[in-house]
Chains A and B, each alone.
Chain A
Amino acid sequence: MTESRYIKAIAQALDEEMARDETVYIIGEDVGASGGAFGGTRGLLDKYGPLRVRDTPISEAAIMGLALGSAVKGLRPVVEIMFADFLPMCMDQIVNQIAKTRYMFGGQFHAPMVIRSPGGGGLNAGPQHSQSLEAWFAHVPGLKVVVPSTPYDAKGLLKSAIRDDDPVLFLENKALYAMKGDVPDGDYVLPIGKADIKRPGNDVTIVSLSRMVHQALAAAKILAERGIEAEVIDLRTVSPLDKETIFASVEKTSRLVVAHEAVKTAGIGAEISALVSEEMIDCLDGPVVRVGAPFAPVPFSLESDYLPGPADVVAAVEKVLAY
């Protein structure tokens, strides 16, 4: 175990996977000599050379399509898109091409590739550099969508994503890049599609993801002082969703809050709320309450007012408990 930053854990995962499998390569803007806009690929060009660490022009659609074509031919690209807000520049490649490759061609071709891209607010980066877009991609069959919240999770999940035979969108969080946590030095993987209980509790379930997990944990601490024990579930993966873990927790607590940083409207919270109401309404002692950002772009100057925090999660729990 070494204490490591989230971004460093990602760089470690990339390094280990490139050493393990010579078909793994990295492609993106500024990923080479400069080591990535946030340092995720630092040192890799020197170690693995320019054939496996590919700096590109600012051409997201070409990058994404190139990665797909190479994956079809047996390589395992890890694409870096500098900000998740830029994913729309290559939306066709992701949604119409990459996600459908296995299905549309009857299993003849597949696309074992990873798209790394950071989302989220907290850095005053403004409306076009702060979004949380996981729900868009969870809506697309064929993609897996991973949303790690800690350095440990980031490394283990990224290694799994690289070994996965399906395309994985790996949504990092810029505001977590500097976060420190214990990370094993050697090889380990965490399963994609499996949620993680970050804090056990019996009174209420709080399902969360990415940076919002930490807001949920902070809320749980406040609630504990009031004698309310919240169970905090970190989804780790939003597609496929780990229904089992969510349902098992709700069966125990009978109360559910879903908290995410993305706008509340049509977010992952809506999906989870619908699933629970469809399949286990009898278990619920109150409505499923969602916490999310207001239905507005992320405002530069009002970001801290805009982003949901622990107080919003506490208020949501109070609302459920009031029933």
Chain B
Amino acid sequence: MASKALLQEIYYSMLKVRRVEERLLDVFAEGAIPGFIHVSIGQEAVASGVCACLTPRDTIFTTHRGHGHTVAKGIDLKPFMAEIYGRADGSCGGRSGSMHVASKEAGVAGANGIVGAGMPISLGTAFASMFRGDDDVTVCFFGDGATNEGTFHESLNLAALWNLPVVFVCENNGWAQFTAQSTYMKIKQISDRAASYGMPGITVDGTDVLAVHKEADRAVKRARAGKGPTLLECNTQRWFGHYAGDPQKYRAEGEVEKAREIDPIARLETHLLAKKQANQAFFDATDERIRAEIDAAIAFAEGSPKADPSDILMDVYA
């Protein structure tokens, strides 16, 4: 059972992910952010529940929908925001943008614009731990759609074969861009595939952060103990479109509204109140603290200069 302190920490993490992305939607709509962004609002329990099991030394890989994982892993919001704004003080110097944010310091080895591409790379950080004999763990986040890439098959087979300290977290929001899971996959439960690789496959309610945390904790401990990988499927809901501004015409009437009735943050609040582990004052104070952090991060991003064009060739090579 998670302690009160841990649950409060998870609450802070989830609300931070939510508020960061709400704010990103706002500033994106105002035209402050170049390119496009994908938000994970409604899916916070996965990012926060899993990352609560990790140490700063552990590494995560994420996707185009990666703000949540990256924030939950503990990236400093200032360079995070500056990166999404494309500024020189961004964590990647303005080279990556929303779809590729990375932070060595926070153990985020990168979001990825190529669906399914993080899985093979996650094998490598895990292998490095095995090679060196340290007990760091790697977590690779990906969507339901990514599980039909060949890299999923190659990576899970190899991870199981070599007992690599990696946890594969499939964030199943039922949608791959504009296509529903039922239209591109015969099976319903993606974790069923794990058996064919010889690793445990677990499906949890990904809107219940306690359930996510419990199973993630087990999987991470298993990996840390050298017992090999796990495929953890977290069923969740995408409240917004594939990208910011997507009108979601392809979704059935009422579907989005129904999805929004299940708010993972409200669920945790209800739990905390019932268990007397937090009160409304705590929620309000947490929200205020987060908003101040985000304000500071936005100000930092806005105050940071655009990357210098004379640096265009920098870091192509050493």
Q: Which residues on A are within 8 Å of B, measured CB to CB?
A: 25, 51, 56-57, 59, 61-75, 77, 92-93, 96-97, 102-110, 141-142, 144, 164-166, 240
* Contact between chains at A69 and B157 (CB < 8 Å): no
Partner of B154, one of A61, A75, A96, A108: A61
B74 in the interface (beta carbon within 8 A): no
B-side contacts of A65, CB under 8 Å: 117, 119-124, 151, 155
* Contact between chains at A108 and B92 (CB < 8 Å): yes
Q: Which residues on B are within 8 Å of A, measured CB to CB?
A: 59, 90-96, 100, 102-104, 109-110, 112-114, 117, 119-131, 138, 150-151, 154-155, 157-158, 161, 314-318
* Contact between chains at A96 and B131 (CB < 8 Å): no
Partner of A73, one of B90, B125, B150, B317: B125
24 cross-chain CB contacts under 8 A? A57-B157, A57-B161, A59-B158, A61-B151, A62-B123, A62-B155, A62-B157, A65-B122, A66-B120, A66-B121, A68-B120, A68-B124, A69-B124, A69-B125, A69-B128, A70-B127, A72-B124, A73-B124, A75-B128, A104-B95, A105-B104, A106-B96, A109-B102, A166-B318
* Contact between chains at B91 and A109 (CB < 8 Å): no
B-side contacts of A74, CB under 8 Å: 128
A-side contacts of B151, CB under 8 Å: 61-62, 65
Nearest Cβ in chain B — how far from A99, in angstroms?
Answer: 9
Nearest Cβ in chain A — how far from B93, in angstroms?
Answer: 3
Nearest Cβ in chain B — how far from A238, in angstroms?
Answer: 15
B-side contacts of A77, CB under 8 Å: 124
Nearest Cβ in chain A — how far from B203, in angstroms?
Answer: 24
Best-surrounded residue of A68, A74, A102, A105 (most CB of chain B within 10 A): A105
A138 to B114, CA, bound (A): 22
A-side contacts of B120, CB under 8 Å: 61-66, 68-69, 93
Please list the 3 inter-chain residue pairs (A to B) with the smallest Cβ-Cβ separation, ordered nearest first: A69-B124, A65-B120, A106-B93
Nearest Cβ in chain B — how far from A268, in angstroms?
Answer: 19
Nearest Cβ in chain A — how far from B166, in angstroms?
Answer: 9
A87 to B123, CA, bound (A): 19
* Contact between chains at A70 and B128 (CB < 8 Å): yes
Nearest Cβ in chain B — how far from A39, in angstroms?
Answer: 25
A-side contacts of B315, CB under 8 Å: 102-103, 106-107
* Contact between chains at B154 and A59 (CB < 8 Å): yes
A68 to B126, CA, bound (A): 11
A-side contacts of B103, CB under 8 Å: 108
Who on chain A is nearest to B125 by CB? A69
B-side contacts of A63, CB under 8 Å: 120
* Contact between chains at A66 and B123 (CB < 8 Å): yes
